[in-house]
Structure 1
């Protein structure tokens, strides 16, 4: 009898989880029929998808997206020449991650998002990056999350979620001053595939630039497990990218096992875990204000200060540190980036209008 009750309770729980799991997306589908040229709505949906619904896969997809860009020799040479990915990889990761999170975890029209994009634009102007390479990098941030989520997430993305990811990152691309952004998500996928077919080839600068990233990704793993963990990273790479990096092909059983475990995790979440109530955001909602020479212990929440005090003293303490504790004592958005760049210097926001966007051709 007790077994029957337990089975009924489990079935009820599964049905309840199923209902709650799709509750948020159903509400958004009622609220929006399209998000075309609406970056505010696109932010709301993208934030829900990446911070509440599918945070783990979303983060990993973006980490591998940044990893993937180093399969283009011209880009890997530029990044490798700075030495940041070799000698300061942890800081480079945190600088990039925090700048991106400032405009992905805050609305694009907020002061914080604008400051982060301006800071990124200032840094980029010192590197000889061609426009089509900027479009390619943008395409990875648009195309990789849907690809990873649809393969390893607990559910596939709704069309409006894919559209929202495209619209939001397209607007970011516009504000970065990127020209000739493909006009639709499907066009962006085609651009990415064509670009990789032409430019993703082996160069010794590719693995040299990525080695620091791999070591950083492996840093939380106990040393004796790191060789096997490295194989896991290799097993998640498609053949084209793997060959461009000159990484060894992994056994079929290992590739199958890793993908099986990720999909099993997805099923467990889908049927047995209630949806997340608190978003996984790394940047804090509010800054703190330094009250002396010691921090983070000697600080208070920045609420009752005039604008001049605020602008000169805003410090943001990350909620967590994925790898190294680079900014344990906090950061200022306008100071993120390599130490050689002048602190507080910002670039300008791009002014390309959406109706001027056209498909890049090769």
Structure 2
């Protein structure tokens, strides 16, 4: 009897040992390849020490930023950017302006303004600094901001704070929820990239301790930005009805493609992703602790799986940071997809009759081609913004582009 059983057990043991060996080998290869990519970043040869960071150009920062987004944390950085928006509207002065214009809280205006804002931000963030598309987006943004700055409705401090949210929150999210933390090189690149964008918006950094003597590098600028934003929040954040109104519209936009029956659950998920102070200021209800536990567990499991079982994303599958399509002949932009309304989406056969269109139709959303008001032919960047500013500011736009080109936005923003 034993002489029949032992060979079977021996065979099973051999298969188990082989399976374990294969699993260990696979995990080892995945981890080695994934961390090898971070260690083999070509820019590590240019920026080996903290002293080297002071010479980092905006162009190199943009390229490092782009690689980190496209290959390492695309989904997490997208989520962090959405949460960053809530932090900007938590500032009472910002929320008051948005509500007074009705552009971001009224359903008849908000979808277009969100589409326009995403277009402008997408261009000056995702396009190379100093390129014609990046400069054009900054020029139009500066024109629209200047209208409210001259009226005393947007302060330099508000500009710093809003920009700070888009820098700090993504870094915090990756370091807390990502499969690994950002390296010092990546962190410096994020800071350098956004600092140059701030320069292009003519933000001044007088409130920062090192402004007079000059910032050493992106990391020093980031440290002072973090400290300043925390202080600015402590001095200005209060629970505000305007923040709540704009926040609700933002949540509606984010979940416009989700059945209404799931909306209460997703509202609590968004609330759970906020810290207690932000949640209080936004007047969002505090969710059950189970939501926080579920989120922590989800990211912990995701990080474990990515670290151990997924090889690094190949360049052929790099995620594009923008859903925009640009026609250089007409200088018009179109979106590939949309949230609430199909602004600037071409009514192609797939866009109008594909599964995505049917899904939106079932949910009661507009579909591409349903109305010319959505400008399916695309929009020029100098026409973005509120309806009343369409076709206005052309001379200012061209003059501002010349000024921005002269700034050499692709160079080192720290003067080294």
TM-score computed with the length of structure 2 as normaliser? 0.74
Shift of the alpha carbon at 1:11? Answer: 2.1
Instruction: Give yes or no for contact 1:42–1:165 (8 Å, CA) kept in 2.
Output: yes
Partners of 1:337 and 1:52 in 2: CA distance:
32
Pair 1:157 & 2:172 matched:
no
For structure 1, the 5+ residue unaligned runs are 289-301, 303-309, 357-362
Partners of 1:323 and 1:199 in 2: CA distance:
32
Aligned ranges 1:1-362 → 2 under 5 Å: 1-28=14-41, 29-33=44-48, 34-36=52-54, 37-85=56-104, 86-87=106-107, 88-127=109-148, 128-180=153-205, 182=208, 183=215, 184-277=221-314, 278-283=317-322, 287-288=326-327, 310=329, 313-321=330-338, 324-329=341-346, 330-343=378-391, 345=394, 346=397, 348=400, 354=413
The runs of at least 4 aligned residues of structure 1 exceeding 4 Å deviation read: 349-356
- Comparing 235-244 with 251-260, greater Cα deviation is found at 251-260
Partners of 2:272 and 2:156 in 1: CA distance:
31
Going from structure 1 to structure 2, the CA distance change for 1:18 and 1:322 (only over 3 Å counts) comes to farther
Residue 298 (structure 1) aligns with: none
Equivalenced residue count is 334
Corresponding residue SS for 1:316: strand
Going from structure 1 to structure 2, the CA distance change for 1:339 and 1:189 (only over 3 Å counts) comes to same
Going from structure 1 to structure 2, the CA distance change for 1:38 and 1:323 (only over 3 Å counts) comes to farther
Corresponding residue SS for 2:295: helix
Instruction: Give yes or no for contact 1:283–1:316 (8 Å, CA) kept in 2.
Output: no
Instruction: Give yes or no for contact 2:124–2:137 (8 Å, CA) kept in 1.
Output: yes
Shift of the alpha carbon at 1:118? Answer: 0.6
- Comparing 179-188 with 120-129, greater Cα deviation is found at 179-188
Partners of 1:158 and 1:221 in 2: CA distance:
35
Residue 355 (structure 2) aligns with: none
Q: Which has the larger radius of gyration?
A: 2
Shift of the alpha carbon at 1:243? Answer: 1.0
Partners of 2:282 and 2:71 in 1: CA distance:
33
Going from structure 1 to structure 2, the CA distance change for 1:315 and 1:76 (only over 3 Å counts) comes to same
Corresponding residue SS for 2:225: helix
C-alpha deviations, 1:258-293, integer Å up to 9, x for none? 2221222222222222222333225479733xxxxx
The two structures, once aligned, show a CA RMSD in angstroms of 2.4
Instruction: Give yes or no for contact 2:333–2:344 (8 Å, CA) kept in 1.
Output: no
Instruction: Give yes or no for contact 1:282–1:319 (8 Å, CA) kept in 2.
Output: no
